[in-house]
Amino acid sequence: VYGEIEGLAPGTTRDLVATVAGGSYAWRCVPTDGKAVTSKAVRVAGAAGSTAVVPVSERDLAAPLKAYRAYVDRGLATLVRLTRRLDDDIRSGHLDTARTDWLTAHRTYASLGAAYGTFEDFDQKINGRPDGLPGGVHDKDFTGFHRVEYGLWHGQSAAQLKGPAQQLADNADGLRKAFPHQDFDPSDLPLRAHEILENTLQFELTGDTDQGSGTGLATADANLAGTRELLTVLRPLLTTRAPHLLPTVDADIARLQALLDSEHRAGRWTPVARLDRTAKARIDGATGQLLEDLSPVPDLLEIRKSA
């Protein structure tokens, strides 16, 4: 595919501009209802043109989607176990242990970013922020990881946290049971390859989500792991369509990983607010560069009717 127009109504005209090298080309029309029609080939002369995109179909994405669903299912099983442990910590009054177990459980959830759109209302219940709630952090609808985080790092007692912790564990269990029946759009996979780290840059690396734990970089690290897993299942499709993209992206990931690792010392992560200016700029810059290099993925792997 060198150029494409979508949603062209009968009896209407629109311009389609494409730069092509010398060779033979045809038009292919794929009606919403009816059989696809391909024109006779036309030969044109010319120098170098743009790079073609090999169309992707839902069938092409079936295997990556199956592999990623299996990854998410394993992650949700781990999440249920870890949120139950967190609940047990709080019920037993072991709040120091709960802080450690909270981070482990939250990082597990943060590594499943490509599936958030599939999780429906569970994502808000499990990982919602207090932004926009009338009562803010004290609102009755503020639930999930960040509600428990707020309490653990703002001096709330085990008695005050028992309800939110149990609710979090119950919602994690509910999500795991619902996930096999939830509709996971295959077109979400290429989109999330870029969007996971967009959210990281917007929310984690600004400190927007922090409710006291100072673990935004730990979440960013989990988001990076989730992106890496997503690229693993998409790698066969990307390798044949953009052979130079993945080596560049792999180098970007290694650079960002090294920067994040340098802020993880003796089991503690540097809070975003305490990063020195140079370290913050390097992490932001490395994330931005990775996002720029990932930006072609949604277009390369867009599901096209022409496939």
Each residue's pLDDT tens digit, 231-269: 999 999 999 999 899 999 999 999 999 999 999 999 999
CA dist list (Å): 25 to 1, 18, 45: 10, 11, 11
Q: Same domain, yes or no, for 46 and 153?
A: no
Residue 163: inside a domain: yes
Q: Report the distance separating Cα 238 and Cα 246, nearest Å.
A: 7
- 96 and 235 both lie in a single domain: yes
For range 31-43, the mean pLDDT:
88
What integer best gives the mean pLDDT of the chain? 94
The pLDDT score that the predictor gives to residue 40 is: 95
| Same domain as 137, residue 286 | yes
Domain for residue 307, yes or no? no
In a domain, 86, yes or no: yes
Hey, how many other C-beta atoms are within 10 angstroms of the C-beta on 302? 16
Number of structural domains, the chain? 2
Each residue of 78-118: pLDDT tens digit?
A: 999 999 999 999 999 999 999 999 999 999 999 998 778 89
Q: Are residues 83 and 201 in the same domain?
A: yes
| 196 located within any domain | yes
DSSP result, 263-287: TEETTEEPPGGGS-HHHHHHHHHHH
Residue 150 has pLDDT above 70, yes or no: yes
pLDDT confidence of residue 133: 95
pLDDT at residue 306, rounded to an integer: 59
Supply 144's token pair: 């999930």
User: Residue 247's pLDDT is what?
Assistant: 97
CATH number, domain of 74, equals 1.20.1420.20
- 292 and 181 part of one domain: yes
Same domain? 38 vs 63: no
Nearest alpha-carbon partner for 92 in 170, 154, 153, 161: 161
| Residue 40 within any structural domain of the chain | yes
Q: Report the candidate in 87, 275, 230 with the shortest Cα–Cα distance to residue 166.
A: 87
Q: pLDDT by residue (tens digit) across 157-216?
A: 999 999 999 999 999 999 999 999 999 999 999 999 999 999 999 999 999 999 999 999
Contacts (Cβ under 8 Å, ≥6 apart) of 198: 291
- pLDDT in the model for residue 186: 93
**Is 12 inside any structural domain?**
yes
Domain-located, residue 73? yes
- Using the 8-state DSSP alphabet, how is residue 52 labeled? P
Higher pLDDT, 220 or 24: 220
The SS3 of residue 177 is: helix
Same domain, yes or no: 172 and 264: yes
- DSSP single-letter state for residue 23: E
- The predicted model scores a pTM of 0.90
CA distance 264 to 257: 11
Of 52, 71, 88, the last residue of a domain is 52
Domain that holds residue 23: 1-52
Quote the radius of gyration of the chain (alpha carbons, Å).
23
219 and 104 in a common domain: yes
154 and 48 both lie in a single domain: no
Same domain for 253 and 142: yes
Domain boundary, last residue among 27, 52, 77: 52
Q: Give dist(CA 215, CA 264) in Å, integer.
A: 10
Residues 6 or more apart whose Cβ sits within 8 Å of residue 217: 204, 260, 263, 264, 269, 270, 271, 272, 283
* Cβ within 8 Å of residue 67, ≥6 positions away: 233
pLDDT over threshold 90, residue 67: yes
Residues 88 and 45 in one domain: no
What pLDDT, on the 0 to 100 scale, is given for residue 36? 85
CA–CA separation, 292 vs 227, rounded Å?
Answer: 14
Q: Is 226 found in the same domain as 98?
A: yes
Q: Is residue 305, in this structure, part of any structural domain at all?
A: no
Check whether 52 has a pLDDT greater than 90: no
